[in-house]
């Protein structure tokens, strides 16, 4: 296994025959904490040695330093809590990231010695009591029971009781306390009984034999019928058809077994029954080909006198064949039965499909674990797991054994992928398989490579080798990539949300520039209404342009600026494109009720592009001069221009403001104009756009 990328869940250490006297837990804790202190001192000494001979000691990867320190901190806390397994896991991880880490080197041997001595207990209670409890590697007990002197680590607990379903649990001991399983309520096992007749529609009664040979009525009905979940035991079935003697048969129902009872109420030469019923009946008479004549129970009339060869076929079981004699005026009754056993198919891990002679067992859909009945005999089974492939087993099925267990073992391990930050998409061979943190519990041994992707972060490839029974822990620290991606919205280093507008080929700030953002770039706040989350006001055109230039330099230094783009004020046409269809009832204005000041940005709903306050709150500077071109646009859009402003060196303002109450001022097509040096305009602010440089 590649130790740089993997760690293994080590199995609990086995107890040795002779043990030294137990050391109190607090002594071990002190010893490990002292080792940590010595390790830290050794680390300082090694650091000095590195300063003198930098080529002689291999340093941990720079990106791992913070993770190493964090894991050492967590390991200390685990030791203080008495969780020695967790402490060992953390120090193993430290040693993988930094093989020469003094803390890990000093602490691991002491932790291993502590784990070798530590013992815990498991408490198991069942309803009903008296279940057989098997703890792998420890022994067999009877519930309720507290099992002592168990080593640290994972333990498989198996619970058995006649007449009840088998239960499996896995418990991890991390300390010397007693871990109690929640009271386990065992589910009763049961059997099924199929009642059929020829012809159908016979009335039946099912009686159960109880103490002193007394009978208890269980069910009344008519054939065919399937009576499910019967308690194991002896039963008597009575069937009757008008004009015929009552039919009676004793039957035994067993756990997890299917039993059938059949009766034939007909006059004829041959009556054929089988257990289980529903078997195909094939007959070969002298001078004729073999042919299928029906399914059991079956009445065969008008057969010629003489010998006939009967063959019963059921599923893919071995057929039963017999030669029978038919005599004139005599009705012969033949009862066929397959000696069969219950077979439990299991696999580790579960979820395998089982096949026999190329045919899938378990009704063609079940996966391990499942049970079914098969006749006694030699078999070769194959199991296919969608991840781990095929496994083949040859086994003799014994009908006297009770339940035959066919177990398919697989070699596998698990993979755990984590990332910082979490939530990265994990791809294997180009296909997405989940997001970090991600645990793949069933993975075949071998070498693996995964790609981790997260928006606004650089993709990272991680790899490692997984051994059978091992755990491959792969961690990656993703590097933030602040560069915006065309067609995606993003947030810049100032906290401004930038919305991609495809028709403009660039981004538009979703909010007007706030006072807090303006102050971060310029160090000043000229606003008449000071409030950090309100739009900056009383700012002239030159100051707004200077802010855009400063923001461009700032974002470029942070790596947040896509190549060939810069921040600036929008043009008049760009403003007209992103204003959208925002209505006046979605604008901060005095049209409906008089306002006393600006409002926090984003108070009302955005337009269809995600742009807030495009209309209202503050007038927004754009880059255009008030010119004949602007006047022509105003007229074309159905508004009234102010022609006197042409040639007066005024910049265009768009959108209206909080103190405007006339439809004319607030009209989308209307343009206000002001000199670029105009100050003390407490109703004027601006919004930035990020567009390609000219």
Which residues belong to CATH 3.90.1580.10 in the chain? 490-692
Per-residue pLDDT reduced to its tens digit, 276-301: 889 999 998 877 889 998 999 988 87
**pLDDT recorded at residue 37:** 56
Structure tokens at 558: 């942070």
Looking at per-residue confidence, does 174 or 267 come out higher? 174
Q: Which fold has domain 119-185?
A: Immunoglobulin-like (2.60.40)
Do residues 465 and 411 lie in contact, with contact meaning Cβ atoms separated by under 8 Å?
Answer: no
Contacts of 116 (CB under 8 A, 6+ apart): 13, 151
In the predicted structure, residue 644 carries a pLDDT above the cut 50: yes
Sheet order of strands, 370-375 included: 370-375, 340-348, 403-409
In the predicted structure, residue 372 carries a pLDDT above the cut 70: yes
Q: How far apart are CA 551 and CA 641, in angstroms?
A: 34
Contacts of 55 (CB under 8 A, 6+ apart): none
Looking at per-residue confidence, does 285 or 267 come out higher? 285
Average pLDDT score over the chain: 85
- Of 525-539, 550-564, 618-632, which range is least confident? 550-564
Q: Which CATH architecture has domain 413-477?
A: Sandwich (2.60)
User: Average of pLDDT values for 228-248?
Assistant: 88
CATH 3.50.50.60 fits 490-692, yes or no: no
- Most distant CA pair in the chain, distance: 129
pLDDT > 70 fraction of the chain, expressed in percent and rounded = 90
**pLDDT recorded at residue 2:** 35
**pLDDT recorded at residue 45:** 41
The packing angle between helices 65-80 and 102-117, to 10°, is 30
Which residues belong to CATH 2.60.40.10 in the chain? 413-477
User: Average of pLDDT values for 643-656?
Assistant: 94
Do residues 155 and 171 lie in contact, with contact meaning Cβ atoms separated by under 8 Å?
Answer: yes
Which residues belong to CATH 2.60.40.1120 in the chain? 119-185
- DSSP per position, 295-308: ESSEEE-SPPSEEE
**pLDDT recorded at residue 36:** 57
In the predicted structure, residue 200 carries a pLDDT above the cut 80: yes
Structure tokens at 447: 């070498």
In the predicted structure, residue 500 carries a pLDDT above the cut 90: yes
User: Average of pLDDT values for 676-686?
Assistant: 92
**pLDDT recorded at residue 21:** 46
Cis peptide before 607 (omega within 30 of 0): no
Q: How far apart are CA 69 and CA 328, in angstroms?
A: 97
- Of 61-70, 313-322, 349-358, 612-621, which range is least confident? 61-70
Going by C-alpha positions, the residue among 483, 463, 507, 426 that lies closest to residue 690 is 507
In the predicted structure, residue 67 carries a pLDDT above the cut 80: yes
User: Average of pLDDT values for 125-137?
Assistant: 88
Q: How far apart are CA 353 and CA 386, in angstroms?
A: 9
Q: How far apart are CA 18 and CA 380, in angstroms?
A: 45
User: Average of pLDDT values for 360-385?
Assistant: 91
Going by C-alpha positions, the residue among 252, 253, 261 that lies closest to residue 194 is 261
Reported as a pLDDT band with limits 50, 70 and 90, residue 604 is very high
Structure tokens at 371: 């049970």
**pLDDT recorded at residue 30:** 58
- Of 418-422, 580-584, 587-591, which range is least confident? 580-584
**pLDDT recorded at residue 23:** 53
- For the ranges 175-179, 359-363, 641-645, the one whose mean pLDDT is highest: 641-645
Q: Are strands 340-348 and 306-313 parallel, antiparallel or unpaired?
A: unpaired
């Amino acid at each position: 296994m590649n130790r740089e990328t993997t760690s293994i869940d080590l199995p609990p250490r086995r107890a040795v025959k002779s043990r030294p006297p137990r050391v109190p837990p607090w002594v071990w804790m002190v010893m490990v904490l002292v080792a940590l202190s010595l390790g830290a001192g050794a680390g300082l000494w090694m650091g000095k040695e590195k300063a003198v001979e930098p080529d002689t000691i291999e340093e941990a990867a720079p990106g791992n330093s913070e993770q190493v320190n964090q894991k050492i901190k967590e390991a200390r806390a685990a030791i203080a809590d008495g969780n020695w397994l967790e402490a060992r896991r953390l120090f193993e991880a430290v040693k993988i990231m930094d093989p020469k880490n003094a803390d890990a080197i000093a602490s691991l041997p002491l932790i291993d010695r502590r784990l070798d001595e530590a013992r815990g207990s498991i408490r198991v209670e069942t309803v009903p009591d008296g279940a057989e409890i098997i703890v792998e590697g420890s022994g067999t007990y009877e519930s309720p029971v507290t099992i002592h002197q168990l080593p640290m680590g994972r333990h498989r607990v198996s619970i058995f009781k006649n007449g009840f379903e088998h239960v499996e649990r896995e418990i991890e001991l991390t300390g010397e306390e007693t871990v109690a399983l929640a009271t386990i309520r065992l589910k009763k096992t049961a059997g099924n009984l199929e009642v059929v007749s020829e012809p159908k529609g016979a009335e039946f009664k099912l009686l159960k034999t109880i103490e002193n040979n007394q009978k208890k009525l269980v069910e009344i009905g008519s054939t065919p019928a399937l009576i499910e979940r019967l308690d194991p035991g002896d039963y008597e079935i009575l069937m009757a058809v008008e004009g015929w003697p009552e039919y009676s048969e004793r039957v035994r129902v067993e756990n997890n077994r299917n039993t059938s009872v059949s009766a034939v109420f007909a006059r004829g030469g041959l009556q054929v029954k089988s257990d289980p019923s529903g078997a195909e009946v094939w007959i070969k008479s002298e001078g004729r080909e073999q042919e299928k004549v029906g399914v059991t129970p079956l009445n065969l009339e008008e057969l010629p006198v003489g010998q006939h060869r009967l063959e019963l076929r059921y599923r893919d079981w071995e057929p039963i064949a017999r030669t029978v004699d038919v005599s004139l005026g005599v009705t012969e009754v033949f009862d066929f039965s397959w000696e069969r056993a219950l077979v439990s198919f299991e696999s580790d891990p579960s979820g395998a499909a089982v096949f026999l002679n190329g045919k899938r067992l378990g009704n063609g859909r079940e996966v391990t674990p499942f049970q079914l009945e098969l006749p006694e005999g030699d078999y070769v089974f194959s199991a296919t797991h969608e991840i781990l492939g095929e496994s083949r087993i040859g086994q003799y099925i014994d009908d006297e054994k009770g339940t035959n267990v066919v177990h398919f073992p697989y070699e596998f391990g698990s993979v755990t992928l984590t990332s910082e930050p979490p939530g990265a998409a994990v791809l294997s061979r180009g296909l997405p398989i989940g997001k970090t943190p991600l645990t793949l519990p069933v993975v075949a041994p071998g070498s693996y490579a995964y790609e981790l992707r997260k928006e606004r972060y650089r993709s990272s490839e991680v790899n490692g080798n997984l051994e059978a029974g091992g755990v491959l822990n792969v961690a990656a620290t993703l590097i933030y990539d602040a560069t915006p991606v065309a067609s995606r919205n993003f947030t810049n280093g100032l906290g401004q949300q930038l919305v991609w507008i495809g028709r403009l080929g660039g981004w538009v700030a979703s909010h007007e520039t706030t006072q807090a953002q303006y102050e971060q770039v310029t160090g000043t706040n000229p606003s008449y209404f000071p409030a950090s989350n309100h739009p900056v006001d009383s700012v002239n055109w030159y100051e707004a342009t200077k802010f855009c230039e400063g923001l461009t330099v700032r974002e470029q230094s942070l790596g947040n600026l896509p190549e060939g783009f810069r921040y600036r004020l929008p043009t008049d046409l760009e403003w007209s494109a992103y204003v959208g269809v925002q209505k006046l009832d979605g604008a901060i204005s005095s049209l409906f009720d008089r306002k006393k000041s600006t409002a926090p940005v984003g108070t009302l709903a955005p337009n269809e592009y995600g742009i807030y306050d495009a209309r209202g709150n503050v007038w927004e500077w754009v880059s255009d001069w008030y010119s004949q071109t602007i006047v022509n646009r105003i007229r074309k859009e159905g508004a009234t221009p102010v022609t006197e402003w042409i040639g007066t060196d005024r910049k265009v303002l768009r959108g209206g403001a909080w103190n405007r109450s006339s439809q004319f001022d607030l009209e989308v097509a209307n343009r206000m104009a002001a000199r670029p040096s105009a100050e003390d305009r407490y109703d004027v602010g601006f919004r930035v756009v990020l567009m390609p440089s000219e």
